[in-house]
Structure 1
């Protein structure tokens, strides 16, 4: 059961752990973005549900220390409606993935993510205090996108970055949101039987690689300039847009 190599070659495990380390550094620093780095690479060499279930477990369990610190400074008034909507609508996204035209849906995702990025670059800011319906709507979009492609970050990132809040609060919001929103995804994955022995075998070497990356990334955030934080966030949204393009499947998958 604990013999890794009949399922994964040493080269595959080493490569995936290296990618997870980089993804962990990014997640620890920015509060999001690890899935945007890991999933396009992992799904090119692993069965997609195995890659998704492995990453979900890692990000939910290993990132808990970040959540403990973030709950003290996050904005609960905007997080709770967004989380509620995401937990509900992730199942809608999963249904679309199973029954819809996935190729067309992925182009829609690319258009949405690219539009959000251009909106942020333009300098637009949401100056009003976010209402519960607005927060709920943003969470719903994130849930649908997460169910379809595991790219749920850009809507909530764009929403909180546009509020002109301090990067510390934006990062805390993202950390808490993804931790709570993962509950809906876990339920969906368990009901579909995604947590298999292959997932367990991958997690054994992946946990320390991702954990060390998270630790180093979180340490780097405390020394970062707010402008640098926003630049990293914009770059990660751009990465999400590029990696979701069906036209690049031949190179990314």
Structure 2
């Protein structure tokens, strides 16, 4: 264990992983999403794709935990359940592709998706229909596939809720509950497939502390009547992290 801890603490570029943990925690705390969109482009510059996903999912077990009771009160658990049903079907397919792609291709895919997500969200697309079970399940399926192949389960779910007639508190709560449950599911799948390595697991545990601090700080500054300000800040941080993660800067 001391040797594994030493490997984790002496990792070249560790500061980028710490920065990703803090920034993604702050944005997650005040918006309910953003962890993967911000953390993966930054951490992907330092460690291979499967390590990035492992660090993220282990870290994410702790960071949002202080905000889950509030999210449970504000959210709609039944909707989250249908999203997860779609995700559990498509996640293994995305993960099977992830383990076969090169780190460079992974970084390009993640950064371009992370840049595209805020742009699409800012277009103000609207959906006035009901949150039906097929719609939720299909959205969860798209989320599961993207989460497996690029570590980005959030955009399909976030886009659906942002486009619908939902109050900011419910958007924040449902996305937070879904992404936390998704992380539990992904962690279990990685364990069953024997893809959990010791060093990234330890890194994930270490990153939990700065991520928790970021989540608490983000939650403290959150006010539903200023949702547009927080959304703009989340978009700006996401795009900046995504641009920095493009391999062309290497």
Same fold (TM over 0.5): yes
Which structure 1 residue ranges, 5 or more long, are not aligned?
A: none
Note if 1:76 corresponds to 2:57. Answer: no
SS at match of 1:71: helix
Structure 1 residues 37 and 78: alpha-carbon distance in aligned structure 2, compared to 1, 3 A threshold? same
Tell me the equivalent position of 1:41: 42
Given the two structures, how large is their TM-score scaled by the length of structure 2?
0.83
Q: Deviations over 1:93-148 (max 9, x none)?
A: 112334689959x769957983x655543333111221110111111111100000
Shift of 1:223: 7.1
Give the drift of 1:159: 0.3
Asked if 1:249 corresponds to 2:250, the answer is: no
For the 8 Å contact 1:20–1:209, the answer to whether it is kept is yes
Shift of 1:179: 1.2
Q: How many residues align?
A: 247
Structure 2, unaligned stretches of length 5 or more?
none
Does structure 1 conserve the Cα–Cα contact (< 8 Å) formed by 2:16 and 2:43? no
Q: Distance between the aligned counterparts of 2:57 and 2:20, measured in 1?
A: 15
How many angstroms apart in 2 are the aligned matches of 1:236 and 1:225? 17
Write the deviation string for residues 29-68 of structure 1: whole angstroms up to 9, x where unpaired. Answer: 1111111222122122123222211210111233222222
Whole-angstrom distance in 2 between the partners of 1:117 and 1:209: 24
For 1:57 and 1:26, locate their aligned partners in 2 and report how far apart those are by CA, in whole Å: 18
- Counterpart of 1:19? 20
Q: Distance in 2 between matches of 1:26 and 1:171?
A: 11
RMSD after superposition? 3.1
Q: CA deviation at 1:230?
A: 3.2
1:117–1:237 CA contact under 8 A, matched in 2? yes
| 1:86-235 pair list within 5 angstroms | 86-98=87-99, 103=105, 110=112, 114=116, 119-222=120-223, 225-235=226-236
Mapped to 2, the partners of 1:37 and 1:164 lie a distance apart of 26
Q: Do 2:42 and 2:242's aligned partners in 1 also have CA atoms closer than 8 Å?
A: no
